[in-house]
Amino acid sequence: MPLGLRRKKKPKSKETSRLMEGEQADAAGSSLPDPTVPTSRLVFHTQLAHGSATGRVEDFSSIKELYAKIAGVFEISPSEILYCTLNTPKVDMGKLLGTQIGLEDFIFAHVKGIKKEVNVYKSEDSLGLTITDNGAGYAFIKRIKDGSVIDSVKTICVGDHIESINGENIVGWRHFDVAKKLKELKKEELFTLKLIEPKKAFEMEPRSKAGKSSTGKIGTGRGTLRLRSKGPATVEEMPSEAKTKAIDKVDDLLELYMGIRDIDLATTMFEAGKDKGNPDEFAVALDETLGDFAFPDEFVFDVWGVIGDAKRERL
């Protein structure tokens, strides 16, 4: 959308793995080098988070393809995978796999465990939940605010997949749709959640409140593999300090304006604006990729300002 004008939305648009043991531009328009499609063979090691042998996966371009590869290694259904973490088997939302994987990252897949049904009394307008999703149809709890309504229900934990709300199946919903549904529940009424927690190893750990994630935690080596919903994955350089700070600031703006925190969404917004020459071009790019959010103009201007500061390395 050119800002201040009506925006026109665009419509939305095996090889078997073997088991083994054990995105910058200045305001004038100069741009970063284009990412390259990987030509060498990229192999990633993986385990099931609750414990397994080590497997190897390769030749994937999207989250869904990655899940299918992991499922093939361990002879399970892709639908059993809730989400993946990088370099830790713990339910650590700061290490959640998003759209980028460091070329030396180790992938841990968290699969479905115990099902539970919980009744919650909505005593406050805000439940104190941050919701995200795995990019393949499963929404889950990313963070629980201390002292909130949900914090008082100790059977609800960070990492739990939300399967249904008041009997309505929400598998396949994006995280912002789930958050909207929860927000619209009436105050001072009881509602029911059906949840699936990730399968755990024998040792039990206290439930996590989780914390603010950071793109600086993604990747440990030479670069990252950026996954795409369409087209081939690309290899990119590790993010600069200015880019990392900018994405964190965009995430802060998302919480301020939209009431959500989503580091992957913040990254997508930064990538959409890094090679644009003015805020109108940036707004059009947002409509093309994230039109359903209907971001307010003030938010778009603020995000553009952050991107501009990153381009000039003022962060």
What is the distance between the alpha carbons of residues 218 and 207, in angstroms, rounded to a whole number?
A: 23
Residue closest to 86 by CA, chosen among 62, 68, 110, 65: 110
Least confident of 150-159, 184-193, 212-221, 285-294: 212-221
The reported pLDDT for the residue numbered 237 is 62
Q: Which residues, listed in sequence order, are joined to residue 309 by a DSSP beta bridge?
A: none
More confident residue, 311 or 197: 197
Q: Which residues, listed in sequence order, are joined to residue 85 by a DSSP beta bridge?
A: 96, 108
Q: Region 292-314: what's the mean pLDDT?
A: 86
The reported pLDDT for the residue numbered 129 is 87
The reported pLDDT for the residue numbered 232 is 65
Verdict on whether the full-model pTM lies above 0.85: no
The reported pLDDT for the residue numbered 138 is 93
Which amino acid does the sequence have at 251? D
Q: Where are the alpha helices (DSSP H) in the chain?
A: 63-74, 175-184, 241-258, 263-273, 279-290, 297-311
Residues 200-209: pLDDT tens digits? 875 444 444 4
Residue closest to 233 by CA, chosen among 224, 244, 242, 222: 224
Joined together, the tokens standing for residue 205 give 């750990």
Q: What is the DSSP letter of 160?
A: -
Q: Is residue 50 very low, low, confident or very high in pLDDT (cuts 50, 70, 90)?
A: very high
What is the distance between the alpha carbons of residues 167 and 23, in angstroms, rounded to a whole number?
A: 42
